[in-house]
Amino acid sequence: MRNSLYYAALVVILLFTFAQFAVAATRETVLDRKSFVEKDVILQIPDVPPLCDRMKVWKQRVQLPQDTNTGTCELYVEKEGKGIPIVLLHGGPGATHHGFHPSFSRAARFAQVIYYDQRGCGISDYTTPTNGFSVDQAADDLDALRAALNIDRWIVLGHSYGGTLAQYYSTKYPERVAGMVLVCSATYGLPIELKPSRQQRFISKEERQKISELQSNRKLTTAQLVFNTHLNGDWKRQTFYRPSRKELARMARYEWKHNGEFRSRTIQSLHVLDFEGVFGDCPLPVLIMEAKWDLTWNTDKPEKLRSCFPGAKLVLFENTGHSPFADEPKEFFGALHDFVKTLAPVAEADVTRWKTRVAEQMKQKQSTPQYVLSTSGWGRASSEKIAGQYSPEWLSQINEADVLLRAGFALYDMKRYEEALAIFVKMAESAQGNQMVMSRIWQGHMLDLLGRRDEAVAVYRSVVDMKVDSRFQHSQYGLTYSPSQYATERIKAPFEYIENQDSE
């Protein structure tokens, strides 16, 4: 009787295992290069509930304490499992914690998993921080959350943009980090040059055309756009296995949700990060998890990323896209478990020494003109701050067109037209395309305000001859224009000073 039961159980196990392999073998992957274009636009996204609804986990909105720089807000948080805490930092900027479900329930077998939505995302508060959204503010929020949850140290696991947040948090609060895990991490601020992205390589011409049509359809909501573009091949950019319609519906409804100011301001803060020389002597344990078919980047990315973290371990997954925890869960969580169980305490003196060195290095970098300009807002208060620090020597230190533009606007706001003119002239020398046209327009403006009308008209005529019909917008001045048409108007009537309507 016992033997009969044993063999019956064995048969069930074998059948189940075979069924799993059969399903995996029949699932379409990005490597199949199949092309699919939906005939119609799907406006009614399938009504699927978030996976959180059926999870028996601790769920709560956690109030962050009042802070001079960040203000206060409530963050949505979930906790699952027991053991060393692992906080999950979602990507984007603008994704949510939903992308980690249901995969990370596996990690709850050996750790306490903490899911949360960053401020401005998902179902956390969208309260604008006192100094605006930034990666620095996100790091401060994260540490305030740690304190509110009564956690001394935790593992910070960052996915995509969350990897950059994990790196920044670890430089600012290393004494609170037991280990850092970078999963298909973004590379903002790291001193590496990467080959072009492979994101479009497996999307057919027909699919690209359909995706372009959908993106130009202004009537679609964000969720409808995400659902339809992914249905028509856009899933191939970051997913190895083709998602089902139900999975796409859940992604569209819950995994990409944020306010616009959060994303644009956070991205702006990422472009001034400079991690060169920062992690070479980092005493914190680091695990890098990369994927062979993460088309967000090219094949050179895993090794180049590891070169920035000499003491890190690199795990490369073979049959995986941008989210290896979903595509190869057994291998992913096996590697994560090995990392967790072998963690050893880091000497406090080593952490203090590294933190002090990094803080001094970053302080020096943050005093540069490029950092000041790139991290400032576009309002009048920011212009006043920039103008107060500006000196002519800045012109020899900055070359990027968008950074020069911000400096020019700041001096214009403060009515320092001669200095603003010099900036717009330099901007025209280095800029291309629309930015070059914009620099010429503003050269004309400064010449008008300086009373040099003949020179201004000559500049405006050069813009008319360019025949540029694209639309430019400077919302802080309430200006929207097509360059050649606008320049024609300025030839007839000179430009007059417009007040910056943004107070920040």
- Residue 9 within a domain: no
Listed residue (95, 82, 90, 140) closest to 115, CA to CA: 90
Same domain, yes or no, for 182 and 294? yes
How far is 148 from 125, CA to CA, in rounded Å?
16
User: How confident is the model at residue 291, as a pLDDT?
Assistant: 97
Angstrom CA distances, 106 to 50, 84, 89, 100, 155, stand at: 18, 14, 17, 11, 16
Domain boundary among 357, 388, 421: 357
Is position 475 within any domain? yes
Residues 302 and 437 in one domain: no
Q: Say if CB 161 and CB 189 are below 8 A apart.
A: no
- H or E segment to which residue 310 belongs: none
Q: Give average pLDDT by consecutive 10-residue segment, the chain, 504 residues.
A: 46 40 68 94 95 93 84 93 97 96 97 97 91 90 96 98 98 98 97 94 95 92 95 95 96 93 86 90 97 96 97 96 97 98 95 96 84 82 92 89 91 96 92 88 96 96 89 89 93 96 83
β-pairing, 112-116 vs 154-159, is: unpaired
Contact between residue 63 and residue 77 where contact means Cβ atoms under 8 Å apart: no
Are residues 189 and 71 part of one domain? yes
pLDDT at 18: 39
| Inside any domain, residue 504 | no
Cα–Cα nearest to 91, from 168, 162, 189, 157: 162
Q: 304 and 170, same structural domain? A: yes
Note whether residue 368 is domain-resident: no
The token duo for 425 is 């002239």
Number of domains the chain is built from: 2
| Confidence (pLDDT) at 6 | 44
Residue 241's SS3 state is: strand
Tell whether 220 is covered by a domain: no
The Cα 176–Cα 21 span in angstroms is 42
Closest CA to 475 of 504, 443, 502, 439: 502
253-269 residue pLDDT tens: 999 999 878 998 898 88
Of 325, 357, 389, the last residue of a domain is 357
| Number of neighbours of residue 91 by Cβ within 10 angstroms | 26
Instruction: Assess whether 285 and 389 both reside in one domain.
Output: no
Angle at CA of residue 452, ends 449 and 457, nearest 5° = 95
Structural contact between residues 296 and 160, judged by C-beta atoms closer than 8 angstroms: yes
* Domain final residue, candidates 326, 357, 388: 357
8 Å CB contact between 148 and 64:
yes
**Residue 147 and residue 69 share a domain:** yes
Q: What is the DSSP letter of 388?
A: H
Q: What is the pLDDT of residue 10?
A: 42
CA 327 from centre of chain:
22
What is the Cα–Cα distance from 120 to 269, expressed in whole angstroms? 15
User: What burial letters (b/e) apply to 413-435, b meaning 16+ CB within 10 Å?
Assistant: bbeebebbbbbbbbbbeebeeeb
CATH code for the domain of 440 = 1.25.40.10
Alpha helices by DSSP H, 216-323: 222-231, 245-250, 260-270, 301-307
In sequence order, the β-bridge partners of residue 207 are: none
Question: Residues near 409 by Cβ (< 8 Å), separated by ≥ 6?
Answer: 378, 383, 420, 474, 476, 500
Looking at the structure, do residues 73 and 193 belong to the same domain, yes or no? yes
**DSSP codes, 64-131:** PPP-TTT---EEEEEEESSSSEEEEE--TTTB-GGGGTTGGGTGGGTSEEEEEPPTTBTTS--PPPTT
188 and 293 both lie in a single domain? yes
- Alpha helix (H) residue ranges in 328-379: 329-341, 348-365, 369-374
Q: 72 and 175: one domain?
A: yes
What pLDDT is attached to residue 17?
A: 40
Q: What whole-number distance in Å separates Cα of residue 320 and Cα of residue 328?
A: 6
Within-domain flag for 289? yes
pLDDT at 146: 97
Structural contact between residues 256 and 281, judged by C-beta atoms closer than 8 angstroms: no
Same domain, 175 and 304: yes
Give the type of residue at 156.
V
Q: In this structure, are 130 and 98 located in the same domain?
A: yes
| Residue 131 within a domain | yes
Give the per-residue pLDDT at 25. 54
CA angle, residues 261, 322, 278, in degrees to nearest 5: 70
* Residues 267 and 140 placed together within one structural domain of the fold: yes
Structural domain span for residue 410: 375-492
Alpha-carbon distances, residue 361 vs 171, 174, 373 (angstroms):
11, 15, 19
Residues 142-158, buried b or exposed e (16+ Cβ, 10 A)? bebbbeebebebbbbbb
H-run or E-run covering 434: helix 433-449
Contact 259, 127 (CB under 8 A): no
Q: Quote the pLDDT of residue 67.
A: 79
State the maximum Cα–Cα separation within the chain, in Å, rounded to a whole number: 105
Give the helix ranges, DSSP H, for 124-198: 135-148, 161-172
In a domain, 192, yes or no: yes
Looking at residue 8, its pLDDT comes to: 45
Bridge partner list, 159: 183
CATH code of the domain containing 324: 3.40.50.1820
What are the Cα distances from residue 358, in Å, to 157, 203, 280, 503? Answer: 21, 42, 11, 34
